[in-house]
Amino acid sequence: MILKFKNYNLSKEVLKAIDRLNYTSPTPVQQKVIPLALKGRDIVVKSQTGSGKTASFAIPICDKVDWDENKAQALVITPTRELAIQVREEFFNIGRFKRLKVSEVYGQFSFRRQQKELKQKTHIVVGTPGRLIDHIERKTIDLSMIKYLVIDEADEMLNMGFIEQIEAIIQNLPKNRITMLLSATIPKDIKNLCKSYMKNYEQIEIEAQNLTVDKITQERYSVEENDKFEFLKDILVVENPDRCMIFCNTKKMVDELCDNLYPWIKSCSKIHGGMEQQDRSLVMNDFRKGKFRHLICTDVAARGIDIEGITHVINYDTPEDKEDYVHRIGRTARASKSGKSITFVTENDIKFIDIIQKYIDKEIEAKQHPDKLTVDERRDDFNTKINTKLNIGPLKSEKVSEGIMKLHINAGKKTKMRPVDIVGTLCNIDGMTAADIGIINIIDVSTFVEILNGKGEMIYNALQGRPIKGRIRKVSKCEQ
Ligand code: AMP
């Protein structure tokens, strides 16, 4: 059994990114998917999130994509925008040193901006079904060179009623392509989809180590609906989570809980499907970066979302769907850490808990409320923690981006700037080679260029007095 990425004959750029991401050896799903994908087989993967499945398709695709082709070669469809953002990031990180452009296409975000981005060179497109269909119908996306199609979280697409849209997208793709479908479960409709649109596919099943992951301590408390909020405060004090997700069943409940909790602990924020996409992205980013500790959310934040170091998941409302329970609690105990899930159960919820316990084949331990003395004893520690900045290491994307500086040049398409003008100027600077140039992005009046290998500062200084395409341009550093 191959246990090292270097045995797969991957390009050195992809291997460098994998190394920076600290992926030392392929996970079981990667060991099965990567060799088959590299051989060009259609694949159906039955696997849970958290198994490294995103990289299992991102690694071979990034490796196989032809940098010189200007049109998109891979299309990845995800059910939610949050997942699209996360999957895009994984592709971007893995394709970092191959200088792959990865575009994201999802609703509630400027159509025109996406349209402009899609007009430029792009290698990989990650999107949600509705917005992809919009682009197809308005002919603002060129899918004629797609060689790879990935349908991620297919069972969730089915739950969300997206299957017809997926079929409509597939009708617009070249027939000669490689298709990969990933799903936690393979119900009949998904099987039919595979039979209709995939050729002689390999089916891979990665046994979930255990549906609910042994590393998660699962507890439940009986509560009265009206006492939930006060009880939550006690539980937060006693458990004192480093980072925590608090799930509610409705947007309204998320809003209400956040309004009530915020005056008490400032280190909380919220996310649900009714918020503007920009706000949703901002909140997820801030949570990822550790700017606050408690995220109050609906199930939009449950599927596949991968944030390091979540110590607790609290089901403020018992989920009414057994699979939602598994997805919610799976946000903790990731990357071989342990974690705890706590579910509040009202009398009305007992029927759901029975179904969940049957599904996970395990008892969720019923706990007694902590007494007042215990809560009071722990209050100081809690107050100290919520007033202390969370200390997290560099994000994965930051590790990959080490030694890369992005520069902004004050000239773009309107002054007929072309990549070759930038490459020409840069390669004429002593100590600079084409291999030190990352992604170049030219828009109307601006050009963004990445300088790799720690040479950013030197190039930034050199460009201050050097003409680009015949004129001195204003060059500044961008925030990454
Ligand atoms: P996923 O199942 O795609 O949501 O991935 C779960 C987590 O595993 C993500 O944080 C990945 O960055 C991480 N990951 C993926 N592949 C590897 C690997 N080979 N070694 C260590 N971590 C990995």
Q: How many A from CA of 90 to the centre of ligand 1?
A: 9
Q: Which amino acid is at 29?
A: V
Ligand 1 contacts (CB < 6 A) are 23, 26-27, 30, 49-55, 304, 306
Shortest-distance Cα residue to atom 5 of ligand 1: 52
- Give the C-alpha separation, 342 to 220, whole Å: 5
CA distances from residue 87 to 104, 133, 199, 283, 457 in whole angstroms, order as listed: 9, 19, 25, 17, 31
Q: How many A from CA of 53 to the centre of ligand 1?
A: 7
CB–CB of 82/157 below 8 Å? no
Q: How many A from CA of 50 to the centre of ligand 1?
A: 6
Q: What is the DSSP string of 220-288?
A: EEE--GGGHHHHHHHHHHHH--SSEEEE-SSHHHHHHHHHHHTTT-SSEEEE-TTS-HHHHHHHHHHHH
Shortest-distance Cα residue to atom 14 of ligand 1: 52
* Terminal Cα distance for the chain, rounded: 39
Q: How many A from CA of 422 to the centre of ligand 1?
A: 35
Q: How many A from CA of 161 to the centre of ligand 1?
A: 28
**What are the tokens at 450?**
């990445």
Q: Which amino acid is at 100?
A: L
Task: Report which of 295, 279, 305, 283 is spatially closest to residue 242, judged by C-alpha positions.
Answer: 295
- Give the C-alpha separation, 279 to 398, whole Å: 22
- Give the C-alpha separation, 60 to 180, whole Å: 11
Q: How many A from CA of 477 to the centre of ligand 1?
A: 31
| pLDDT on residue 170 | 96
- Give the C-alpha separation, 423 to 434, whole Å: 7
Q: What is the DSSP string of 417-438?
A: --HHHHHHHHHTSTT--GGGEE
Give the other-Cβ count within 10 Å of 192's Cβ. Answer: 11
Positions of the chain with pLDDT under 70? 1-2, 208-214, 335-336, 480
CB–CB of 259/269 below 8 Å? no
Ligand 1 closest atom vs CA 54: 3
Q: How many A from CA of 399 to the centre of ligand 1?
A: 15
| pLDDT on residue 179 | 97
Chain CA centroid to CA 170, Å: 23
Angle value at C-alpha 395, between 106 and 288, nearest 5 degrees: 55
Q: Which region holds residue 146: left if phi is over 0, alpha if psi is between -120 and 50, else beta? A: beta
| pLDDT on residue 57 | 97
CA distances from residue 448 to 111, 144, 422, 432 in whole angstroms, order as listed: 21, 27, 10, 17
CB–CB of 41/89 below 8 Å? no
Domains of the chain: 5-205 (3.40.50.300), 213-386 (3.40.50.300), 403-477 (3.30.70.330)
Ligand 1 closest atom vs CA 51: 2
Q: How many A from CA of 393 to the centre of ligand 1?
A: 17
Residues 165-223 pLDDT 10s: 999 999 999 999 999 999 988 999 999 999 999 989 999 998 765 555 667 999 999 99
Shortest-distance Cα residue to atom 20 of ligand 1: 23
Shortest-distance Cα residue to atom 8 of ligand 1: 52
Q: How many A from CA of 227 to the centre of ligand 1?
A: 39
Q: How many A from CA of 94 to the centre of ligand 1?
A: 12
- Give the C-alpha separation, 365 to 388, whole Å: 31
Q: Which residues pair with 333 in a beta bridge?
A: none
- Give the C-alpha separation, 22 to 55, whole Å: 13
Q: How many A from CA of 55 to the centre of ligand 1?
A: 7
Q: How many A from CA of 407 to the centre of ligand 1?
A: 30
| pLDDT on residue 1 | 56
CA distances from residue 204 to 53, 61, 84, 443 in whole angstroms, order as listed: 12, 18, 23, 42
Pairing of strands 148-151, 74-77: parallel
- Give the C-alpha separation, 396 to 21, whole Å: 6
Q: Which residues pair with 447 in a beta bridge?
A: 409, 442
- Ligand 1 pocket test target in 5, 10, 49, 54 with most atoms within 8 Å of CB: 54
Q: Which amino acid is at 440?
A: I
| pLDDT on residue 96 | 92
Ligand 1 closest atom vs CA 25: 19
| pLDDT on residue 16 | 94
Q: Is 17 helix (H, G, I), strand (E, B) or coil?
A: helix
- Give the C-alpha separation, 411 to 473, whole Å: 7
Ligand 1 closest atom vs CA 27: 19
- Give the C-alpha separation, 411 to 18, whole Å: 34
- Which residue's entry shows tokens 């799976």? 330
Ligand 1 closest atom vs CA 90: 12
Shortest-distance Cα residue to atom 21 of ligand 1: 23
- Ligand 1 pocket test target in 7, 21, 49 with most atoms within 8 Å of CB: 21
Task: Report which of 338, 370, 340, 366 is spatially closest to residue 353, judged by C-alpha positions.
Answer: 366
- Give the C-alpha separation, 305 to 316, whole Å: 19
Give the other-Cβ count within 10 Å of 274's Cβ. Answer: 13
Summary count for the chain: helices (H), strands (E): 18, 20
- Give the C-alpha separation, 171 to 149, whole Å: 12
| pLDDT on residue 191 | 93
Q: Is 405 helix (H, G, I), strand (E, B) or coil?
A: strand
Q: How many A from CA of 403 to the centre of ligand 1?
A: 23
CA torsion angle 438 442 445 450 (round to 10): -10
- Ligand 1 pocket test target in 6, 10, 23 with most atoms within 8 Å of CB: 23
| pLDDT on residue 169 | 96
| pLDDT on residue 314 | 98
Shortest-distance Cα residue to atom 12 of ligand 1: 52
- Ligand 1 pocket test target in 19, 27, 183 with most atoms within 8 Å of CB: 27
